[in-house]
Amino acid sequence: MTKLDRLGRSLEHLIELANVLQRERIALVVLDQGIDTSTAVGRMSFQILEAIAEFEHSLMGERTRDGLAAARARGRTGGRKAKLGARQVRLAREMYDQVDYQGRNRYTVAEIAAEIAAEFGVNRPTIYRYLDVDTPVPAGR
């Protein structure tokens, strides 16, 4: 082939392809760049490319970890925004903790979920998750 960039989508892809070709005992010759994997110099060129790809991959990982650490230091956390705020969770918990004159829960989790879910626009399993109770399994499952 004439140019190496015509062969693969990325450096990692090129190296993977070169390794497959080497296992099949097929030499790769890149005319414009003087690479011939049937020679020691050509194989060394690919090994250098492989080392560069691994280095770039490591750098990306380090940058990602550094960026996440910097964001955490600024008080930012990853993931989705919480469905319920602290006040809403407290309200659901207070309802859950209320007992009647016989010492039983005044509200069932289903009742709490129906009320909170309707008021705050969340579904019932979300309420179960915030209350840290098991979601009931529908009959027949």
The per-residue pLDDT for range 63-120, each reduced to its tens digit, is 999 998 998 898 887 777 777 888 888 888 888 888 888 888 888 877 887 887 777 7
Helix axes 86-97, 124-131, angle to 10 degrees: 80
- Domain for residue 127, yes or no? yes
- Domain for residue 136, yes or no? no
For the beta carbon of residue 98, count every other beta carbon within 10 angstroms: 11
pTM for the full model?
A: 0.43
The predicted-structure confidence for 25-74, as pLDDT tens digits, reads as follows 898 888 877 788 888 888 888 778 778 877 888 899 999 999 989 988 98
Question: Residue 99 is part of which domain span?
Answer: 86-131
**Is-contact 3 30, C-beta < 8 A?**
yes
CATH number at residue 53: 3.40.50.1390
99 and 60, same structural domain?
Answer: no
Q: Count structural domains, the chain.
A: 2
